[in-house]
Amino acid sequence: MDLYKITLLVVAGLLTVVFAWQLRPGAAIRPDALRDTARRAGLAITPEVEPVLIARIRSRNRGTLIGTLIALIVATVSLMALPQSADGGLWSGLMIIVMTGLGGAVGLCVAEFRSALVPLGDRPRVARAPTPSRADYLSTIDLWCGPVAMGVTGVALAAVALVILVDPDDVLRGASIPSLWWPGFMLWIVSLAAAGVGRILSTRLVGRGQPAGSDMELAWSDALRSWTLRALVQTPALGALCSLVVVLTSVSSTVSGQSGIGTALSVAFSIVPLVMGMVGVALLSMGSRRPPHYLSRLWPDVAAELRRGAHGVVAAPVESGRP
């Protein structure tokens, strides 16, 4: 067994121990974690909703960790079976990150599906009409980040392959289509498949019921569902962007800078990932300054209260805030 596979097994083993430790039955939810969750959701944690919320968070954490562990095992076995990439396995870690992220998102979705089966006992159930849609939980950026990322990166990968085939001035002698297939193109294919599965799961999840005994529970259920749907659409988009970064970085290292075209290609391949990162940071920063999207669509009174208050305040929904 070579050093690459030994390193892969050691890293996977350490990650498995860490995730398994977090799955232990006695793991508690820290108070500061609850406060951070409240700030992120823009909602207050009342005494009535706190035990329900803690149970939901535990279930979601467990689902995420189990999904991550399964994905880690699948990714490790795949990397062991596949040939080592031309870069010496440098980007294999990125494949593990993307795969575990996708596994965690699916595990989170499974936990959300199970929450719809939790009985309320003798408590009355809060109902609303009409049933929310994906657009009520996902902003325009969230809805389109997956299709746009897959489309743009797909066209970019095809363009890179065309440049390699044409090879102007013979500046890409060290690059070939087979060398880009793994891991760059493979990451894109995995992300494309994950985007399709995520769309199916998110559509089915929105149609599931939301057992809640009060407006507060229902609002928190909306918050958790919104985060689940965002994970399902954002993780494949991130994987697609990572695939493009891998390909551009690999090609950039093979470009001969002895000609003007070679220098231009090398600069372009190096700048594109940087621009992509800056755009991503700008979009995330823009979204963090606003009340959560689900509040604006489903609980407009709460969103209005957040806009009037200071950044980071939390509020409790009232009867008038529910459609």
pLDDT band, very low/low/confident/very high, at 310 (cuts 50, 70, 90): very low
Would you state the pLDDT for residue 312? Answer: 45
Would you state the pLDDT for residue 225? Answer: 93
Does residue 264 carry a pLDDT above 70? no
CB 146 within 8 A of CB 233: yes
**pLDDT tens for each residue of 198-236:** 999 999 999 888 888 788 888 899 999 999 999 999 999
CB atoms within 10 A of CB 320: 10
**pLDDT tens for each residue of 73-125:** 999 998 888 777 666 566 778 888 889 999 999 999 999 998 877 766 666 67
Rounded mean pLDDT of 53-69? Answer: 92
Rounded mean pLDDT of 246-270? Answer: 66
End-to-end CA distance of the chain: 62
Rg (CA), the chain: 23
Q: Which of 10-19, 47-56, 80-89, 140-149 has the lowest mean pLDDT?
A: 80-89
pLDDT band, very low/low/confident/very high, at 323 (cuts 50, 70, 90): very low
Query: According to the per-residue pLDDT averaged within each range, which of 78-87, 115-124, 141-150, 170-179 is highest?
Result: 141-150
Would you state the pLDDT for residue 196? Answer: 93
Query: According to the per-residue pLDDT averaged within each range, which of 1-5, 89-93, 174-178, 193-197 is highest?
Result: 193-197
Distances (CA, A) of 38 to 29, 35, 58, 62, 229: 13, 5, 15, 20, 18
pLDDT band, very low/low/confident/very high, at 309 (cuts 50, 70, 90): low
Rounded mean pLDDT of 10-19? Answer: 92
Does residue 170 carry a pLDDT above 90? no
Rounded mean pLDDT of 167-179? Answer: 65
Q: What is the mean pLDDT of the chain?
A: 81
Distances (CA, A) of 97 to 102, 153, 227, 245: 9, 19, 19, 14
Does residue 136 carry a pLDDT above 90? yes
CB atoms within 10 A of CB 29: 15
* CB neighbour list of residue 91: distance below 8 Å, 6 or more residues apart: 85, 183, 184, 246, 250
Compare 110 and 28 and report the one with higher pLDDT. Answer: 110
Would you state the pLDDT for residue 318? Answer: 52
Does residue 272 carry a pLDDT above 80? no
The rounded percent of the chain whose pLDDT value lies above 70 is: 76
CB 65 within 8 A of CB 32: no
Tell me the DSSP string of 230-253.
HHHHHHHHHHHHHHHHHHHHHHHT
Q: String of b and e for 218-234 (b: at least 16 CB within 10 Å)?
A: bbbbbbbbbbbbbbbbb
Write down the pTM of the prediction.
0.84
Does residue 197 carry a pLDDT above 90? yes
Compare 91 and 244 and report the one with higher pLDDT. Answer: 244
Would you state the pLDDT for residue 93? Answer: 80
Does residue 132 carry a pLDDT above 80? yes
